């Protein structure tokens, strides 16, 4: 079985017509656009070859793409896009904050690498009123538990789950 979460986006799709750019544009972007803060800053974690970044670049004031592997690509060559070759752990230490954080196809790899430390790191990157968008395979049984974040889930198509996380209300 192909683990599509670890594959780069393929404009031609895969055998199941899965998470390629056309699929994301048609089925994921409407949900993202209706729930995110357009015009503000965004972070694309696990940016890969930058195709998702090229899709969202007109919707946000600035986008930072963080990828631990050297995947410099033309998709990163836009005035409002900054590409950083860094690990999540290194980047969190710089204390940036973002209104919109995207893990589109990278959650599984980050979850494997950081385990229980992943959500605390994401919380540190999140602006108080910000949201985290995670796209995963609905059949993989991920846990989205956090002391600070609450999640809502949208089943997109038959096997794709979009998870939207934000801070719990604190009174």
* 114, containing H or E segment: helix 107-114
Number of folded domains that form the chain: 1
Q: What's the mean pLDDT in 138-160?
A: 84
* pTM for this entry: 0.84
pLDDT in tens, 54-83: 889 999 999 999 998 876 666 677 889 998
19 pLDDT higher than 60:
no
Residue-range definition of the domain harbouring residue 151? 40-159
d(CA 163, CA 84): 25
125 is a domain residue: yes
Q: Are 5 and 105 in contact (CB under 8 A)?
A: yes
Question: Is residue 12's pLDDT more than 50?
Answer: no
Give 12's Cβ-side CA count (13 Å radius). 1
Q: What is the CATH number of the domain that holds 154?
A: 3.40.50.150
**Is the model's pLDDT at 124 over the cut of 90?**
yes
H-run or E-run covering 30: helix 29-35
């Amino acid at each position: 079985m192909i683990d599509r979460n670890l594959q780069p986006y393929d404009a031609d799709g895969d055998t199941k017509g899965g998470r390629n750019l056309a699929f994301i544009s048609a089925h994921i972007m409407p949900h993202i656009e209706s729930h995110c803060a357009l015009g503000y800053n965004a972070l694309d974690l696990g940016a890969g070859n930058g195709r998702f970044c090229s899709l969202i670049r007109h919707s946000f004031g600035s986008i930072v793409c963080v990828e631990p592997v050297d995947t410099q690509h033309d998709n990163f060559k836009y005035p409002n896009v900054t590409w950083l070759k860094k690990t999540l752990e290194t980047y969190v230490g710089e204390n940036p904050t973002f209104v919109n954080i995207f893990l589109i196809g990278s959650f599984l790899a980050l979850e494997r690498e950081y385990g229980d430390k992943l959500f605390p790191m994401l919380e540190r990157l999140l602006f108080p009123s910000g949201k985290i968008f995670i796209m995963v395979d609905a059949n993989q049984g991920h846990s989205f538990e956090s002391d600070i974040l609450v999640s809502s889930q949208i089943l997109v198509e038959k096997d794709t789950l979009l998870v939207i996380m934000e801070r719990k209300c604190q009174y």
